[in-house]
Each structure stands twice: as structure tokens, then as C-alpha cells.
Amino acid sequence: MRRIILTVLSLLVSVVAESQTADTIINKYLKAVGTKERWIQLKSTVNKYETKRANRIPDINQSTLNYNSGLFFKVAKREGSVNLVRYVSVQENHPQDTSTSTFTGTDYWLQFRNEEPVRQMFDLSEVARNSILGHPDRFLNADNFEYIGVREIDGVPCDIVRIKTGNMETDYYFDTRTNYLVLYHGKDKSMRTQLKDYRDVNGLKIPFTEEMSNEFGLINLNQLVDIKIDLTIDNEYFYKLIGDGLILK
């Protein structure tokens, strides 16, 4: 009986230590990128990216990716407990494919140039929590943290923390030297996102390069070229879809 009790106590101590380790890593990250309080105070962002995107997913007989270049905008505004988010994609080689997607806090819409917007079917509670102003929002709204261990990414040791938010589980890799988030992927690892080139923007540390890849290679390369924070953005911008969204030019 004593051995069983000791075993149970040992497991409990291990679980508590693991939880504390995950919390410690997240807190170090939040401090490194501007503090949790500063991110909570952030009211809006307008990001402009130069983007390189695969316009063709290879089939089983062809592994070559073709790319388009263009611009990609993300406008986000904190409204109560949710973030209103609008994405605008403008491809230079195929401007007719310009698209706008918008999350209004209650509905998620997708609109292509000269077409009527279409409501998308999503779990709105999860969309609300994962439509973000900045990466830290993912951790501020998470349900559960779990420390996984240490792994090298491009020769850099990283602490891995698994985050559960609703039905989603994602592994996040934090550079043990800088405490920055450098990589994340879902449990199935089908898509990986690397974050690079952190810079200071009004006291917040923002990654200016985002690389998304899968088994075929690079899918999206987003290079942040302009960012504005805490602008006043009318809610009508999110609730009324306006053509192809080029009012951001």
C-alpha cells in the first residue's frame, strides 16, 4: 500500500511540475514579446504582407509547386471577448482571384471578386478564440497547457508546449535562448509554420517572416512590410463586405 501511495504521489508531483514548466515557458514568451498586459491592451492591428503562395497543390504524380506573388492584408480588432478579423488576398498574376474573408464575431464569410459573399460553416466559438490580433492570443485563450520536451529546430534547442483550445491541439516551439515562438504545427504535423525576424513595434515583438510548409515544401511565404497598431477601425468594415477589399491600399 505504501508503495502504491508513493507511486501516486510521484505521478502527481510529475504532473504539477510539468504544468508549472509549461506555464513558465508561456510566461517567459509573453514577457519576451512585450508582456501579457501589453498584448491585452492591444486594440487593433493592420498588417500588410508581400506573399508568395502556391497556386497549385501537386497530385500523386507531380510534386512541383507553382507560385503566385501578391499582397495579403490582415485587419483585426478586439471587440469584447472576440476579435473581428478580415483577410484580403490580392494575387498579382491572377487578380481575378482576389478574395476577402471576414469574421464578424457571429459569422464567417468568404467573398471572391465580383461574387456575392458566402457564409462559411465553422464552429464559431473556436473561430472566435483563434481569430487573433497576435500570436499571444492563442495562449491567453487556451484551455490547457502541456509540456512535451526539448527538440532542436535548425540547430536551436526549443521547449515544446502543447496547447488545447476547444477541439484543437497544437504544438508550439519556443527558442530556449530568446523565448520567442519559432515554430508551430497541429498534432498531425501536416502543416508547419515557422516565424522569423522578430522586430520591435511600439514595444511589441513581431515576427516579420512567416513560412508555411507541408510535405511538398513551402506553401506560403508571408513577409510583413507594414504594420499599424491601435488604429480606430469602424465595425462596419467587418460587418459590411465591400467588393474585393482594396480600400486598404
The answer to whether 73 and 46 are in contact (CB under 8 A) is yes
- Tell me the fold of 2-248: outer membrane lipoprotein receptor (LolB), chain A (2.50.20)
pLDDT (0 to 100) of residue 245: 43
pLDDT (0 to 100) of residue 31: 95
Burial degree of 98 (CB within 10 A; 0-12, 13-18, 19+)? buried
Q: Whole-angstrom Cα distance, residue 30 to residue 39? A: 8
Give pLDDT tens digits for 78-126.
Answer: 887 778 888 888 877 665 567 888 888 788 888 887 777 888 877 666 6
Average pLDDT, the chain: 80
pLDDT (0 to 100) of residue 9: 41
pLDDT (0 to 100) of residue 147: 94
Quick one: CA dihedral 196, 34, 77, 106, positive or negative? Answer: positive
Q: What is the pTM of this model?
A: 0.81
DSSP alpha helix (H) spans, 105-241: 124-130, 136-140, 236-239
- H-helix or E-strand spanning residue 7: helix 2-32
Evaluate if residue 204 carries a pLDDT over 90. Answer: yes
The answer to whether 108 and 83 are in contact (CB under 8 A) is no
Q: Whole-angstrom Cα distance, residue 52 to residue 55? A: 9
Residue boundaries of the structural domains of the chain: 2-248
Give pLDDT tens digits for 134-175.
Answer: 778 778 777 788 999 999 999 999 999 998 877 778 899 999
